[in-house]
């Protein structure tokens, strides 16, 4: 264990704060995991890697047996039911296969396993019990076998997202229902039709609301008040705002999680990722084409709070960096890390600053400086890099380095369409991406030819 001061940006306070755990011998972190209805994409991979680095840092600071990391699996949700029906796959098979794919992705990205990974369906009794508490405390109401949380019964609602209730009603995408007393009220329990999954409750056969699940599972493993709650920026409202309201009201408490951390969005070639645009990149599809360490380094190349643009240049830069770094690879255990190297990570998990310091150490190591080499290898291991042996790295690179012909032709077609529309900025971006992937293109009249570098 090392005695280091960690500063992190707390979304709740809107500023960077010194991290002071409730109990330094029992540090707790909860991160929202996947809803297992479809394969995780690169946007889902970012919080996986970001909070894995924070977990590794907490272990380094406080000690291996003094940190509890909880990441849930949402295996009951409207999206899951809809996906099951659309794909004509039984829910248990859908959730089991998607969860397995998620675990394969975690392994591929070299993420440590959390201490606990609760599934929502394993904690239904706790969800019913919390709903009963909220009804008893007059923070919820029942209407036609639905139970809703009354948002205006919680005076601090909106504190996390920095908006008052009027602003939230005007700007939020909230579920419309005639059963609600207020548009912001959200469901704690809803009835299930016969063919959908459901559990017996005082309000009839039904299932829990999404927000309720995380409140119950975090309390089960970390207590009513714990240290860190993490997730993507898209979860600030309504999910995390609703978690705070439920938990504080159910437990008649002023606090839920003390520190809230949120990673920024991921775009694809400067566009928002969406299925309608067809630019969602699944991790599962990348497994066979790119080494997971390349993806991991690329995801850490931008500060976690900032937006990250996913493109071929970013991937190639990460590939080239690791090609260099692997020239210094040796099998070694993680050693001590000096204050100068750790400083960026201790200042709100500044991975780009930390990576810059690793580059400087690599330069010294490549000139024969043995102490720099030892520190460089230890520094890489801290953020989950260079933990794969050299032979595996070389083998993967040798067989998977070239972008395939089908992808090249598809990109050239996209470029041609962009030029026809007069979008020369996009056309130039596609050309640069291809060059970064080792493909040279040349325009000859109306035809475009290509070749590998």
CA of residue 326 relative to chain centroid, distance: 27
Q: Are residues 240 and 308 in the same domain?
A: no
Instruction: Please say whether the beta carbons of 33 and 23 come within 8 A.
Output: no
3-state secondary structure of 140: strand
Separation between Cα atoms, residue 409 and residue 365, nearest integer Å: 41
Q: Are residues 173 and 155 in the same domain?
A: yes
Whole-model pTM: value is 0.87
Q: Are residues 351 and 435 in the same domain?
A: no
Q: Are residues 307 and 239 in the same domain?
A: no
Q: Are residues 350 and 443 in the same domain?
A: no
Q: Are residues 158 and 27 in the same domain?
A: yes
Could you list the residue range(s) of the whole structural domain that residue 417 is in?
Answer: 405-452
Reading the block at residue 276, the tokens are: 């309608």
What are the angstrom distances between the C-alpha of 275 and each of 41, 179, 239, 242, 280?
11, 32, 22, 27, 6
Q: Are residues 244 and 294 in the same domain?
A: no
Q: Are residues 249 and 353 in the same domain?
A: no
Q: Using CA of residue 249, residue 254, residue 255, residue 260, what is the dihedral sign? A: positive
Bridge pairing between strands 206-208 and 186-191: antiparallel
Q: Are residues 421 and 306 in the same domain?
A: no
Q: Are residues 448 and 325 in the same domain?
A: no
pLDDT in tens, the chain (453 residues): 455 799 999 999 999 999 999 999 999 999 999 999 998 899 999 999 999 999 999 999 999 999 999 999 999 999 999 999 999 999 999 999 999 999 999 999 999 999 999 999 999 999 999 999 999 999 999 999 999 999 999 999 999 999 887 777 665 555 667 889 998 999 999 999 999 999 999 999 999 999 999 999 999 999 999 999 999 999 999 999 999 999 999 999 999 999 999 999 999 888 877 666 667 888 988 888 899 999 999 999 999 999 999 988 999 999 999 999 999 999 887 778 999 999 999 999 999 999 999 999 999 999 999 999 999 999 999 999 999 988 889 887 655 556 677 788 888 888 888 888 888 888 888 887 787 666 888 888 778 888 765
3-state secondary structure of 386: coil
Q: Within a domain: residue 233?
A: yes
């Amino acid at each position: 264990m090392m005695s280091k001061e960690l500063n992190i940006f707390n979304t709740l306070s809107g500023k960077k704060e010194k991290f002071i755990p409730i109990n330094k011998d029992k540090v707790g972190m909860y991160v929202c995991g996947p809803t297992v209805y479809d394969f995780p994409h690169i946007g889902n991979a970012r919080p996986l890697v970001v909070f894995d680095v924070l977990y590794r840092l907490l272990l380094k600071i406080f000690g291996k047996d003094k940190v509890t990391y909880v990441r849930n699996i949402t295996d009951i949700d409207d999206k899951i039911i809809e996906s099951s029906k659309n794909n004509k796959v039984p829910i248990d098979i859908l959730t089991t296969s998607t969860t397995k794919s998620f675990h394969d992705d975690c392994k591929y990205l070299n993420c440590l396993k959390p201490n606990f990974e609760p599934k929502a369906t394993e904690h239904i009794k706790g969800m019913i019990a919390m709903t009963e508490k909220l009804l008893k405390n007059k923070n919820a109401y029942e209407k036609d076998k639905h139970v809703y949380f009354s948002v205006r019964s919680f005076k601090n609602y909106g504190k996390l997202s920095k908006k008052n209730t009027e602003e939230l009603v005007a700007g939020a995408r909230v579920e419309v229902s005639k059963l609600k007393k207020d548009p912001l009220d959200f469901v704690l329990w809803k009835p299930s039709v016969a063919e959908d999954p459901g559990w017996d409750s005082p309000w009839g056969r039904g299932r829990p609301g999404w927000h309720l699940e995380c409140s119950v599972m975090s309390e089960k493993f970390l207590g009513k008040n714990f240290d860190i709650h993490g997730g993507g920026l898209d979860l600030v409202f309504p999910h995390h705002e609703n978690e705070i309201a439920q938990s504080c009201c159910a437990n008649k408490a002023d606090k839920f999680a003390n520190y809230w951390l949120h990673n920024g969005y991921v775009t694809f070639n400067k566009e928002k990722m969406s299925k309608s645009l067809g630019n969602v990149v699944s991790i599962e599809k990348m497994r066979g084409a790119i080494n997971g360490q390349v993806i991991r380094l690329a995801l850490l190349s931008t500060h976690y709070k900032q937006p990250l643009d996913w493109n071929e240049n970013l991937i190639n830069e990460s590939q080239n960096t690791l090609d260099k770094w692997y020239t210094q690879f040796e099998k070694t255990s993680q050693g001590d890390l000096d204050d100068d190297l750790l400083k960026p990570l201790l200042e709100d998990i500044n991975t780009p600053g930390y990576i810059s310091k690793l580059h400087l150490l690599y330069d010294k190591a490549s000139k024969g400086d043995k102490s720099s080499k030892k520190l460089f290898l230890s520094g890489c291991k801290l953020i989950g890099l260079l933990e794969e042996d050299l032979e595996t790295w070389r083998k993967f690179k040798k067989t998977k380095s070239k972008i395939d012909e089908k992808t090249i032709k598809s990109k050239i077609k996209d470029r041609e369409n962009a030029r026809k529309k007069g979008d020369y900025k996009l056309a130039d971006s596609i050309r640069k991406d291809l060059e970064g992937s080792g493909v040279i293109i040349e325009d000859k009249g109306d035809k475009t030819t290509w070749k590998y570098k």
